[in-house]
Structure 1
Amino acid sequence: GPIHLGGTRWAAVGDALGRILSTQGAEVTREYYFNDHGAQIDRFTRSLIAAAKGEPAPEDGYAGDYIVDIAAEVQKRAPGALDLPEAERHETFRSIGVDLMFAHIKRTLHEFGVDFDVYFHENSLFESGAVDKAVETLKGSGNLYNADGAWWLKSTDFGDDKDRVVIKSDGNAAYIAGDIAYFQDKRSRGFDLCIYMLGADHHGYIGRLKAAAAAFGDDPDTVEVMIGQMVNLVRDGQAVKMSKRAGTVITLDDLVEAIGVDAARYALVRSSVDQSIDIDLELWASAGNENPVYYVQYAHARLSSIARNAADLGLSAEGANLALLTHDREGDLIRTIGEYPRVVAKAAELREPHRVARYLEELAGAYHRFYDACRILPQGDEEPGDLHTARLALCAAARQVLANGLGLLGVSAPERM
């Protein structure tokens, strides 16, 4: 279905983390894992067929306007699809419907400023035989055993809290079978660190994914699992409950429509992923200093205005004597600017992009206080002096760091507001 708020948080955090890791010399590949195999896709397909027939969604199916829209588009592309024999009808709605849904997801992410290097399809692991191969490898190593007609991973041998079913007693693969094959696939492509970004209900995956790595004789530290907590929208002090488009959940599109891309990305990145967050729609849509993204962007716009005004006066920061910057507010701003490399390095090390957002707010605050206390450009008939030049250099540095930090978060640095 459409990307819900939890997934939207990972889009913002993951993209920022990729950018931050790149600053530290990492070669980063951003990969989106499409769950296009198994029961979820079957329910999705049956929901499309029901919508095409004008019937309510199946009890375990998906509801929402997007299902109706996709069902109508399937029928445009495959006229008479409803009249096909049952198996053929199911496959027609499945294949076209999945393609349409994924196209929507990619388009939505792109508009959010998030593009992936690889779109990986879970189903490809089954079609290619990668799942069967992974299962046979684990059987051969003795790390898979048969009990009650099912095949179990000896995950407790590798620190998990219980053994996990890989092949169920009915012969069908459990969800973890695809996860195991996917890990092997990533490692075979040369990645020495695999960072998984999963939802709040996936805590159990930390142990099982690390155990799967160890069962292959790999280092469990090649797997890192980040668990993202819930996101809630609030308006007028009340929780916003649902989206008509998606039926039961609020989506990325809903959030962007309410507060815009920049505010949405900043709001989602600003807090540790370990914390649930409430996004106050009125606050994040406002043009005031209480809105953190406005506060940071306004500092950049103000600095850009100073640069334009200086250029109009024929002033530049070239040859600035920085020893003249002795005011307390100048010192505060210089020290805050100097913290930037350390903050980014720590954000990369701890996988915590929110450190960059919080730092930018500190930098914007230091700049606003400096601006209030120190005259930057000459006024009236005042002749430009060395102190003006030095302060222009300080402003240029602050502007550059604000732009760099906003860029790491995927947020724009406007020159006018």
Structure 2
Amino acid sequence: MNAYEFARAEATRVVEAAYHKAVAAGVLPEGDIPPVAVETPKDAANGDWASTFAMQCAKPLRTAPRKIAETIVENLDLADSCFDTVEIAGPGFMNFTLNQGWYEKAVKNVFEMGADYGRTQTPAPEKVMVEFVSANPTGPMHMGNARGGVLGDCLAAVLDWSGNTVTREFYINDAGNQVDKFAHSVEGRYIQEVRGEDAIEFDPSWYQGDDIKALAHDLVGQYGDSLLDKTPEERFAIIEGYGLPTNIARMERDLGRYKINYDVWFRESELHESGYVKETIDILTEKGATYETTDGALWLRSTDFGCDKDDVLRRANGFYTYFAADIAYHRNKFEKRGFDRVINIWGADHHGHVKRLQCALDALGLDGSHRLEIVLMQLVRMMQGGEVVRMSKRTGKSLTLTDLLDEIPVDAARFFFNSRAAETQMEFDLDLAVKQDSDNPLYYVQYAHARICSVIKNCVEGGVPMPDTAAVDLSVLTGADERQLVKAIALLPEEIAQAAQSRDPSRLNKYAVALAQQFHHFYNACRIKCEDEKLCAARLALCLAARQAIANTLGLIGVEAPETM
């Protein structure tokens, strides 16, 4: 149950019923009224829920909003609702106050759902693929991949918890020019290691990293200098056959260490080898969406579908472009594997590619403009000691995902990278990420969970029985601090649903901090182990509910909920 959605629906129901009752009694005119607007006010002094329905109806009913509000309130029936009172404020705001029953149901719902608390069922569930990271297997993963990995993983989690069927996918770019360049780079380093650095001039366009040297060194260990006796084609095949699988396995290992596990690792090479790229481009041609230039290149009529320029699909030399393979890949997602929606996490530098791909899918009749969503992710600046960090202390080279996880805990990396919406630039403070105090938001939230575990342990050791959560009397939880904590706990299903809808999993971080803050406030204001047994049991039950909500939130972000700190 989403307690907030329930309250919203209840407010809508009673207002609509009151309006129709007033119309039937002839005290309000009948008109073309809009849907009832209900929201949670920013100021708690204005009630728990507020409706602007009276102001909405002033024009269609040709009646003063204050008069409408007064008439609505006079005709309200709150008997079977979750509200105690409704008061009118200002020009016609109707402010609702939740009753005790709502608070009790909200807490009991946590116990009923347990580890699944927060799950909801969207009215229109979809089969969704979230594709993220998809780094070229030609080198180590960088900070953009680190941020994109967490954002994609957490987005997939909230979509799943909102009732969708979700697949996490990594697209392996194991075809095309970058793979050729990768193999040539390793080959160059191999020759240099066997015959000396002067044996071959290392092309400046090749990959320069130490990872290339390491692969070449491994090949020397396996083959000695025997690869030099092979034909260039044979040597190239051996190098590619070793280098790519090695790097892909390393990626899978590093992402596993980062707590990211994919459902599917999809290879671009499969699209080419199966003829699926050619088939896709042939379909576009059959639909009249392409044209050929005098040099033999094939172009997509992208401008016919709203793009600012046309795009090359097949070069004059007969090779298909990366764009052509990308179109085929996304056709495979929609047409062959039947996804209703595809969400890709891309770096902001891919902005120009979004519309092009959507246009190509529109040309195929796959409605890419609506079914393909791209979440564009801004850059990350790594900070330490107030200065930008670009190099690893250990290697002196560009900071990679592996370097980062050697510097700070995985949980800190995941929490911090998920702390900002994708479209915002972020600064990752390495000093703050390892700080063991309340300045560190992850520590602050984890400490709240550990504190609850400590409270429960102390109560058990002191002979205080744990409450039967199915039978505990929660009617005694009437204090402001208790109710505020219940409202914070009850917000989790709503936050997850909103995170999925807005494609912004960073809401979970903000919610986790706010919930922890509310618990710490409750802990300092309310004595849990008290003489009143009924009140003690109810407050312990509230602690258990808070612990579950914190644990579930941290679990969605992919970090631990420790019992001790």
* More off after superposition, 258-267 vs 244-253: 244-253
Cα distance between partner residues in 1 of 2:305 and 2:355: 8
* More off after superposition, 402-411 vs 78-87: 78-87
> In the alignment, is residue 333 of structure 1 matched against residue 480 of structure 2?
no
2:338 alignment partner, SS class: coil
* CA shift for structure 1 position 223: 0.6
* CA shift for structure 1 position 50: 2.3
Match of 1:63 among 208, 224, 229: 208
1:29 alignment partner, SS class: strand
CA deviation profile, 1:178-211 (whole Å, cap 9, x unmatched): 1011011112111111111111210012101111
Q: Which residue of 1 aligns with 2:519?
A: 367
Q: Aligned ranges for residues 262-411 of structure 1 at < 5 Å?
A: 262-312=411-461, 313-318=463-468, 319-378=471-530, 383=531, 385-411=533-559
CA deviation profile, 1:90-115 (whole Å, cap 9, x unmatched): 22111110010000000000111001
* CA shift for structure 1 position 246: 8.3
Cα distance between partner residues in 1 of 2:392 and 2:202: 16
1:66 alignment partner, SS class: helix
Cα distance between partner residues in 2 of 1:290 and 1:83: 61
Q: Which residue of 2 aligns with 1:24?
A: 162
Q: Which residue of 2 aligns with 1:110?
A: 256
> In the alignment, is residue 122 of structure 1 matched against residue 271 of structure 2?
no
* CA shift for structure 1 position 77: 3.8
* More off after superposition, 279-288 vs 234-243: 234-243
**Counterpart contact for 1:301–1:414, Cα < 8 Å:** yes
Match of 1:189 among 337, 345, 350: 337
Match of 2:323 among 160, 176, 182: 176
1:286 alignment partner, SS class: coil
Cα distance between partner residues in 2 of 1:244 and 1:295: 28
Cα distance between partner residues in 1 of 2:207 and 2:346: 21
* CA shift for structure 1 position 72: 2.0
**Counterpart contact for 1:64–1:245, Cα < 8 Å:** no
* More off after superposition, 394-403 vs 166-175: 166-175
2:166 alignment partner, SS class: coil
Q: Runs of 5+ in structure 2 lacking a partner? A: 1-138
1:202 alignment partner, SS class: helix
Q: Which residue of 2 aligns with 1:200?
A: 348
Q: Which residue of 2 aligns with 1:35?
A: 173
1:104 alignment partner, SS class: helix
Cα distance between partner residues in 1 of 2:522 and 2:276: 60
- CA RMSD across the alignment: 1.7
Q: Which residue of 1 aligns with 2:310?
A: 163
One-letter code of the match for 1:328?
Answer: A
> In the alignment, is residue 87 of structure 1 matched against residue 239 of structure 2?
no
**Counterpart contact for 1:70–1:97, Cα < 8 Å:** yes
Cα distance between partner residues in 2 of 1:388 and 1:14: 42
* CA shift for structure 1 position 148: 4.6
Q: Which residue of 1 aligns with 2:410?
A: 261
CA deviation profile, 1:240-275 (whole Å, cap 9, x unmatched): 122488885321111211211000001111100001
C-alpha spacing 1:157/1:141, structure 2 compared with 1 (3 Å): same
C-alpha spacing 1:82/1:392, structure 2 compared with 1 (3 Å): farther
Q: How many residues align?
A: 413
CA deviation profile, 1:188-237 (whole Å, cap 9, x unmatched): 11111111111121001210111111010111211111111111211111
> In the alignment, is residue 235 of structure 1 matched against residue 387 of structure 2?
no
**Counterpart contact for 1:263–1:284, Cα < 8 Å:** yes
Q: Which residue of 1 aligns with 2:189?
A: 51
Cα distance between partner residues in 2 of 1:250 and 1:62: 16
Match of 2:219 among 74, 85, 90: 74
If you compute each CA radius of gyration, which structure gives the higher value, 1 or 2?
2
One-letter code of the match for 1:101?
Answer: N
Cα distance between partner residues in 2 of 1:174 and 1:358: 42
Match of 1:13 among 148, 151, 159: 151
* More off after superposition, 304-313 vs 227-236: 304-313
**Counterpart contact for 1:155–1:162, Cα < 8 Å:** yes
* CA shift for structure 1 position 392: 0.5
CA deviation profile, 1:362-388 (whole Å, cap 9, x unmatched): 00010111111111124xxxx461111
1:322 alignment partner, SS class: coil
1:349 alignment partner, SS class: helix
Q: Runs of 5+ in structure 1 lacking a partner? A: none
* TM-score normalised to structure 1 length: 0.95
One-letter code of the match for 1:43?
Answer: K
C-alpha spacing 1:154/1:245, structure 2 compared with 1 (3 Å): farther
Task: Compare relative contact order (CA 8 Å, sep 6+) and give the higher one, 1 or 2.
Answer: 1
